A = this chain, B = another copy of it.
Amino acid sequence: MRRGAIEFCVLALLSRREHYGFELVQRLSEADGLLTSEGTIYPLLSRLRRDGLVETEWRESTSGPPRKYYRLTSDGARALGHYRGQWEQFRNAVNSLLYEDQEAVSERSTD
């Protein structure tokens, strides 16, 4: 179900501020079980970087190992806008199939 949406959510989170990978894992899994393990996020972040949607910067932590921070690029912001439109269309399509599409059932009244 979450196929493709995680990428989208990561871009959305990064559009607000920088995050490092582990932080994203925590956000997305606490949030609502959108994510289940680190094995999802790190390859995804690599893809995003490869595609130029994010840039990275190592930075020291005051309590623990260094962190790799991810920041949205302008390409990434553009992609996010694109995804946003797709998400809304997708969401509306599913919602209408689930809830609203009752008019179409009126055909059934001839059963």
Contacts and interface: CB of A to CB of B under 8 A. Distances in A.
A58 to B, nearest CB: 20
A99 to B, nearest CB: 9
A4 interface: yes
Q: How large is the interface on A (under 10, 10 to 19, 20 to 34, 35 or more residues)?
A: 20 to 34
A59 interface: no
A108 B9 contact: no
A102 B3 CA distance: 24
23 contacts: A1-B3, A1-B4, A1-B8, A1-B86, A2-B4, A5-B90, A5-B94, A13-B97, A16-B101, A16-B104, A16-B105, A16-B108, A17-B108, A31-B93, A31-B96, A31-B97, A32-B96, A34-B90, A34-B94, A34-B97, A87-B98, A91-B91, A91-B94
